[in-house]
Structure 1
Amino acid sequence: MATSLKSLSEYSTNNLPDISQKKFGIVVSEWNDQITDALFSGALETLLSHGAQKSNIYRKDVPGSFELTLGAQWLAEQEAIDAVICLGCVIQGETRHFDFICDAVAHGITNVGLKFNKPVIFGVLTPDTMQQALDRAGGKHGNKGDEAAITAIKMLGF
């Protein structure tokens, strides 16, 4: 559903699993760090508010969204990590670079989850403008980091 119709920070808390002993890896793109730091804050707050232990949450930064896939793989291959959350922001520019990066990242994150048989969550914004990114990183449309974290929690209960 379009985020203009629903807040990214609104979600059902029905049947959430106990995550007090679960370990989460969060891979964060340094590119557009104003946005990605806000996404991380949202994800961290959501995990903690639902019972995750701060000592079981590991943040790893990568240079850009393209590198999220390899960062996710490095975390996912660690047996102790139960779920990986990928946070990034690719803003549409004047060239097709946006299309190539978004496609590669989406496929790469999907493949990591399938390869390691654990939740690897796509928390990457793909807005047309910086304002749209801000609106989805704690602004008027909520925080994609919240949505990514609750998705990881729900997938652990599958």
Structure 2
Amino acid sequence: MSSSLKNLSDFSHLNVQNAAGFRFAIVVAQWNASITGALLSGAVDKLLAHGVAEQDIEVIQVPGSFELISGADIALRNKAFDAVICLGCVIQGETRHFDFICSAVADGIANVGLKYNKPAIFGVLTTDNEQQAIDRAGGKHGNKGDEAAVTAIQMAHISRRY
């Protein structure tokens, strides 16, 4: 089914485990703040709903999506987090800047996770326009922040188990 026809944040088919005792960093871009703020709210709410204590969630704000890479690196280097969630929003403009940023951010976040052997979650919207971002930040297609939090919980459990 096309993503344009459904809520992408439906977790009814998953058994999301309790995450009490896990620690999470959320690195969030300040650029496109109305969108990233909604992503952040979704992620925090989902973590809390699955048993994460408020004091076990640390929010780190960075200027833009490109800086999510450094923020994730700093978080995993300096703190004992079980996973880092990276939240940002890059909206297509008139230049190729979008392509370079999206590619660099995806690669960078993946590399940070590999560097520290910790889950580094890509919760970055890469949309054609602002309406698509709104639809995926708490709108008709759910909230990518929720999805990133559920992914972080699942990966933290896997990481701890193996």
TM over 0.5: same fold?
A: yes
Q: Is this contact kept in 2: 1:27–1:62, CA < 8 A?
A: yes
Alpha-carbon separation, structure 1, partners of 2:8 and 2:36:
15
Higher helix share: 2
Amino acid at match of 1:35: I
Q: Give runs of ≥4 in structure 1 deviating > 6 Å.
A: none
Partners of 2:45 and 2:24 in 1: CA distance: 13
**How far is the alpha carbon of 1:6 from its aligned partner?**
3.6
Are the aligned partners of 1:39 and 1:137 in contact in 2 as well (CA < 8 Å)?
yes
State the one-letter code of the partner of 2:133. A
Distance in 2, Cα, partners of 1:13 & 1:23: 21
Greater shift, 71-80 or 86-95, is seen at: 71-80
Distance, in Å, in 2 between the alignment partners of 1:54 and 1:46 is 11
Aligned length: 157
Q: Which residue of 1 aligns with 2:100?
A: 100
Structure 1: 5+ residue runs without aligned partners?
none
Instruction: Describe the shift of the 1:2–1:117 C-alpha distance in structure 2 as closer, same or farther (beyond 3 A).
Output: farther
Q: Within 2, Cα distance between the matches of 1:7 and 1:56? A: 28
Distance in 1 (CA, whole Å) between partners of 2:114 and 2:136 is 27
In 2, are the aligned partners of 1:8 and 1:146 still within 8 Å (CA)?
Answer: no
Q: CA deviation at 1:156?
A: 1.3
Aligned Cα RMSD in Å? Answer: 1.3
Q: In structure 1, how many angstroms separate the alpha carbons of the residues matched to 2:39 and 2:8?
A: 11
2:132 — aligned with what? 132
